[in-house]
Structure 1
Amino acid sequence: MPRFHYRAVNSAGETVRGEMEAGDRAGLVRALRDQGYMPVHTEKRTGPARAGGGKTRGRRARRGRITQQGLALFTRELATLLGAGLPIDRALATVAGQSEAGGMAHVAQGLLDAVRGGAGLADAMQRQPGVFPAFYVGLVRAGEAGGTLHEVLTNLADAQEQAESLRQEIRSALNYPMLVLIAAGAAIVILLAAVVPEFKPLFANSGDALPWSARAVLAVSEAFRAYWWALPVAVLAAVLLAAQARRSPRVRAARDAWAMRLPGIAPLIRKIEAARFARALGTLLRNGVDAATAIDMAVDTVGNTRLAQLLGSAGKQLRRGEGLAQPLAAANAFPPLATQLMEAGEQSGHLDRMLLTVAGIYDQEVRRDTQRLLQLLVPMVTLLLGVVVAAIMGAILSAILSSYQIPGA
C-alpha cells in the first residue's frame, strides 16, 4: 500500500505533518478527517519514509520563480486554511512556514508582514510585483469587501487548477513530437559527421563526375566537420534572440497576428483564449465584481495580443451599454458557439454561470483538437526527416554506383 506525506490543520489550528499508508488520496483524506484533521496538502512518497508528525517550523525561503502551479497550490492551501477557521494572519503564517512552498513561502511571508502592518490582503498582493494577476487581486478585494474571502479563494483555486491541468496536458502531448524531432536530428548529425566521411576516400578521384547530389552531401559533411562548433553557437544565438524578441511588444504583436492567420492553428488559439477569458470573467462576475471592471481584468489574462486588442474594444462597447456577446461576435474574437452561449447567459441573467460552462466546453475541445493535431504532426515530422535521411543515403549510393563507371575510380 502506498505511503503519503501529508500536511493538515488540527482542531487547535496548528499545522501538523506526517506520513500514512492509504489506498489512494481520497482514502487518506477520509482517514485524516476521521482523526479530526483538515488536510491541506498530500503527496505520494517515492523515497524512503520519514519520521512524521510535529508542528511546522517557520522557515523562510528565498523567492524564486513563481509558477502558475505554485500559485494555484498557494491559493488552494490558503482557501483550505481559511475554511478551517484560521484568521488570515495565521493562515499566511502557516503557508510561509512551509519549506516545500519554495518561492511562494517568501511571498506569503511578505503578505503576512503587510497584513500585520494593517494592509488588506488585496493591497498586500499588489505590493508583490509580477506574482498576482490583476483579476486575482480584484477577486480578493471583492471577497474582502463582501466577507466571502474563503469562497473567492476556493473559486480561484478551482479556476487555476483547471487552467493548469489543461496547460500541463498540452505540454505533455508535445513531448513525443519533440523527442521524435530530436532523435531524427541526432541521426542526421551522425550521418553527416561520422558516416558520410567514411565514403569520401572512395570518391577521391571522381571529381566533377560525381552526381550533384553526392557532391552537395559531401560538401555539407566536410563543412559540418570543419565548423561543428558553429552549430551550438547558432542554436544558442537563436535561443537568446528568441528570448529577446519575446520581450518586444512589436515582435509579439506581429507574431500573434501571424498566428491568427495560420490554418489549423488559429482555431485552436481562439478556443484556448476563449476558455481562458471565459473562466476569468465568469469567476470575477460570480464573485461580485462589476461587469466593466471584470472585463478589463479578464482581458489581461488573454495571451494573444491581437485577441486582447479585439476584446479591449468589446469592453469599451460594453461600458456603453451594448452588452457583451454582440461586440464579441462582431469582433470575431471567439468561435460562434462561445458568443451564442454568452448571449444566452445575458438573456437569462446567468452570464457568470454560462461563461464557466463555455470555459469547460472549450477546455474539452482544446484537448481533443490538440490530440488530433499531434496525430497529424508526428507522422508528418517523421516522414519529413525520413525523407532527409533517405536523400543523404540515396546521394551516397548514387555516388558509389557512378564510381564504377568512372575510369580509374
Structure 2
Amino acid sequence: MPAYSYQALDAKGKKVKGVIEGDSERQVRGLLRGRDLKPLDVKTVKAKAAAQGSSQGPFTLGGPRMNTRELSLFTRQLASLVLSGLPLDEVLAAAAKQTRKPVVKSIILQVRSRVVEGLSLAQAMAELPKVFDNLYRAMIKAGESSGYLGPVLEQLAEYTERSQETSHKIKSAMIYPIVMVCVSVIIVSILMVKVVPQLVGMFESNSRELPGITAFLIGLSDFLVAYGVFVLMAFTALIAVLQWLLKDPKRKRVWHKMQLKLPLFGGFILQSETARYSSTLGLLAQSGVPLLEALKIASQVLNNLTLKEASVQVAVMVQEGASLSKALDQVDVFPPLLVQMAASGEANGKLSEQLLYAARNQERELEFSVNAAMSLMEPAMILFMAGMVGFIVMAILLPIFEMNDLAGI
C-alpha cells in the first residue's frame, strides 16, 4: 500500500499536512473527507520527493532526509521490532506510527510501500541514498542475505548511536572556545569603535606627546572606524575565494595533505578519520560483507582526500592478493595501532573484532585529546581576552595618569 503526502483544510479552515497510506489517490481523498478534512493536494511520497528535487534546481537538497539522531532512533526501533518476530511490513508500519515528524514518517512509509511491492529492505532503501548511505544499505543487505537482520540492525543501531555521541561530544567541546572568541571580538570592536574615539578629543587637547601604545591604539581605532566595513568585506571575500579555490581537486588534495601535518589539529583529523574507517570496516566484516567490498565502502566514509586515496590503494592491493595489514602498512598513512590490530586479527581469525577494538581505541584517544586541548584552550582564551582588554585600558589610562601627574606638580 503506497504512502501519500497530503495538504488539506480542517473544519476551521486551517491548512494541515500529513502522510497517509492508501490504495489510490481517490481512496486517500475519501479517507481525508471521512476525517472532516478538505483535501487540497495529494501526491505519493515518492512523486513529491521527485517534484521537490526538480523544482529546487541547482540548490536541491535531494529530497527528504533524516539527521543522525533520527536515523539512530529509527534503526534502534527497527532492530527491536524485527527481533520481536513481526513481519517486515508491520515493523515499518509500527515505526512510522511511533514518529511524529512528517518527514521521517514519509521516508519510512515510502520504504514500506516498496517492501510491500516485493522489494527487499536494502533495495527499498537504495531509492533513498541521501537518507541511507552505502554503509547502511550494505549492512542491511548482508543481514537479509544471512538471515540475521535483527542482530545486524542492533549492531548498526549501536554504530549510529556511538557516531552521534562522538560527534555531539566534539561539538559540545567546541562551543565554549567559539563563544569566547565571538565575545572577545565583539567587546574589543565596541571598545575600539565606540569608546576610544570619544577619548581622542581629550588627548588631542593636551600638547604633550602621547605614549606609544596610546598612539597605536588611536591609529588602530581610526582605521577600524574608517575601513572596518571594508576589512570585514575583504575577510568574507577571502573566505569565499579560498572555498572556490578548494573546489579544484588538486588544490583540495594539497590542502588535505597539509591538514594532516598541522600541529594538534592534524592529530584530531587523523584519529577521527581512522576511527570512522576502522569502525566501518569492522562492522561490515562482522556483518558478513566480503572484505574487498567492505574496503570499497569504508573508503567512502573518509572526508580527507589523502586518507581516502590511501584507502583506495589498500583495496587495490588486497584485491591483488596482499593482506590487509601489509596493505595498510605500505600506504604509510594510517596509525601503527590500526596496522597492528589488523595483523593480529588476521593471525587469530578475529579481524572484525580487532578492527572494532582499534576504532574504539581511536575514539577514546580522540576524546581525551579534545578534552585536553579544550582544558588548555579555555584559560588561554580567558588570558587572551583579558590581555586585549587590559591593553586597551592601559593605553587609555596612561595619558590620564600623566595629565594627573602634571596637574599635581
Q: Same fold, TM exceeding 0.5? A: yes
The CA distance in 2 between the partners of 1:262 and 1:213, in whole Å, is: 34
Whether 1:349 aligns to 2:354 is: no
Whether 1:298 aligns to 2:301 is: no
The aligned residue for residue 14 of structure 1 is: none
- Kindly provide the amino acid, as one letter, of the partner of residue 106 in structure 1: S
Secondary structure class of the residue paired with 1:260:
helix
The aligned residue for residue 284 of structure 1 is: 284
The CA distance in 2 between the partners of 1:119 and 1:239, in whole Å, is: 46
The aligned residue for residue 26 of structure 1 is: none
Contact 1:210 1:403 in 2 (8 A): no
Whether 1:363 aligns to 2:372 is: no
RMSD between aligned alpha carbons? 3.0
The aligned residue for residue 219 of structure 2 is: 219
The CA distance in 2 between the partners of 1:113 and 1:242, in whole Å, is: 45
* Structure 1, 266-275 or 75-84: larger mean CA deviation: 266-275
Instruction: State the Cα deviation string for residues 56-76 of structure 1 (Å, max 9, x = none).
Output: xxxx89965522222111111
The aligned residue for residue 17 of structure 1 is: none
The CA distance in 2 between the partners of 1:226 and 1:64, in whole Å, is: 47
Matched residues, percent identical?
Answer: 28
TM-score relative to the length of structure 2: 0.76
Structure 1 residues 164 and 250: CA distance shift in structure 2, 3 A? farther
- Give 5+ residue unaligned stretches, structure 2: 1-44, 50-62
- Give 5+ residue unaligned stretches, structure 1: 1-59
Tell me by how many angstroms 1:262 deviates.
0.8
Tell me by how many angstroms 1:241 deviates.
6.3
The aligned residue for residue 88 of structure 1 is: 88
The aligned residue for residue 376 of structure 2 is: 376
The aligned residue for residue 204 of structure 2 is: 204
* Structure 1, 282-291 or 207-216: larger mean CA deviation: 207-216
The CA distance in 1 between the partners of 2:75 and 2:304, in whole Å, is: 25
The CA distance in 2 between the partners of 1:108 and 1:236, in whole Å, is: 41
Contact 1:203 1:403 in 2 (8 A): no
The CA distance in 1 between the partners of 2:66 and 2:232, in whole Å, is: 30
The CA distance in 2 between the partners of 1:102 and 1:247, in whole Å, is: 35
Tell me by how many angstroms 1:263 deviates.
1.7
Contact 2:65 2:130 in 1 (8 A): no
Whether 1:188 aligns to 2:188 is: yes
Secondary structure class of the residue paired with 1:289:
coil
The aligned residue for residue 326 of structure 1 is: 326
* Structure 1, 215-224 or 234-243: larger mean CA deviation: 234-243
The CA distance in 1 between the partners of 2:358 and 2:183, in whole Å, is: 39
Structure 1 residues 218 and 273: CA distance shift in structure 2, 3 A? same
Instruction: State the Cα deviation string for residues 236-294 of structure 1 (Å, max 9, x = none).
Output: 66776677677665554343222101122222322222211111111111111111000
1:259-274 matched pairs, under 5 angstroms? 259-274=259-274
Contact 1:93 1:109 in 2 (8 A): yes
Contact 2:64 2:107 in 1 (8 A): no
- Kindly provide the amino acid, as one letter, of the partner of residue 382 in structure 1: I
Structure 1 residues 406 and 251: CA distance shift in structure 2, 3 A? farther
TM-score relative to the length of structure 1: 0.76
1:253-264 matched pairs, under 5 angstroms? 253-264=253-264
The aligned residue for residue 119 of structure 2 is: 119
The CA distance in 2 between the partners of 1:238 and 1:72, in whole Å, is: 38
Instruction: State the Cα deviation string for residues 135-184 of structure 1 (Å, max 9, x = none).
Output: 21111111111111112111111111112111111111112222222222
The CA distance in 2 between the partners of 1:96 and 1:246, in whole Å, is: 41
Instruction: State the Cα deviation string for residues 291-343 of structure 1 (Å, max 9, x = none).
Output: 10001101111222211111111111111111111221222222212211110
- Kindly provide the amino acid, as one letter, of the partner of residue 214 in structure 1: T
The CA distance in 2 between the partners of 1:186 and 1:322, in whole Å, is: 57
Structure 1 or 2: larger helix share?
A: 2
1:2-401 matched pairs, under 5 angstroms? 64-101=64-101, 103-205=103-205, 209-225=209-225, 249-250=249-250, 252-401=252-401
The CA distance in 2 between the partners of 1:303 and 1:311, in whole Å, is: 11
The CA distance in 2 between the partners of 1:332 and 1:378, in whole Å, is: 35
Contact 2:285 2:294 in 1 (8 A): yes
Secondary structure class of the residue paired with 1:97:
helix
